[in-house]
Amino acid sequence: MKTRKAASFMTKQVITAQEDMTLTEAMAMLVKHGISCLPVVDADQQLQGIVTEYDIMNSVVSGEAERTRVGDVMHREVLTFTPETDLEAIVNTCLAKRIHRVPICEGGRLVGIVTRRDIIGQLLELYGRT
């Protein structure tokens, strides 16, 4: 597989959430932007965690979505990569761990995200189909 660094194909304009947001606010962001997760950052863009559609769906059945905060349901242990990580390493990790997206961080600061769609786009390019 041709070496491609995450910096060259990651999504740089990442839609993010903050820990104090309600789940209804997070749901609205997911729907508005057509995405399936929100990295959670602080004011300095330091990654604090990630909240996914599954996390939200699992939590809102209680009927408390307007009072539940993102920080209460997000995953705090998040696998991340750097912008220098190559495509093959990201693909292999996503496959082995069955994950759908990975935040890209420098010094703990969120600088991008790589999703399965980004990976498929790169694979398609490798096959000369773009």
Task: Give 46-72 pLDDT, tens digit per residue.
Answer: 999 999 999 999 888 778 888 999 999
Report the pLDDT value the prediction gives residue 60, as an integer from 0 to 100: 80
Confidence of residue 75 (pLDDT cuts 50, 70, 90): very high
pTM recorded for the entire structure? 0.90
Residue ranges with strand state E in 23-120: 37-41, 47-52, 101-106, 109-115
Give the chain's domains with CATH numbers. 6-126 (3.10.580.10)
Closest CA to 8 of 80, 90, 108: 90
CB 106 within 8 A of CB 98: no
Q: Which amino acid is at 95?
A: L
Closest CA to 99 of 34, 37, 46, 40: 37
Report the pLDDT value the prediction gives residue 93, as an integer from 0 to 100: 95
Confidence of residue 2 (pLDDT cuts 50, 70, 90): low
In tens, the pLDDT along 12-21 reads 999 999 999 9
Cα 112 to Cα 45: distance, rounded to the nearest angstrom: 11
Q: Which residues pair with 110 in a beta bridge?
A: 105
Report the pLDDT value the prediction gives residue 102, as an integer from 0 to 100: 97
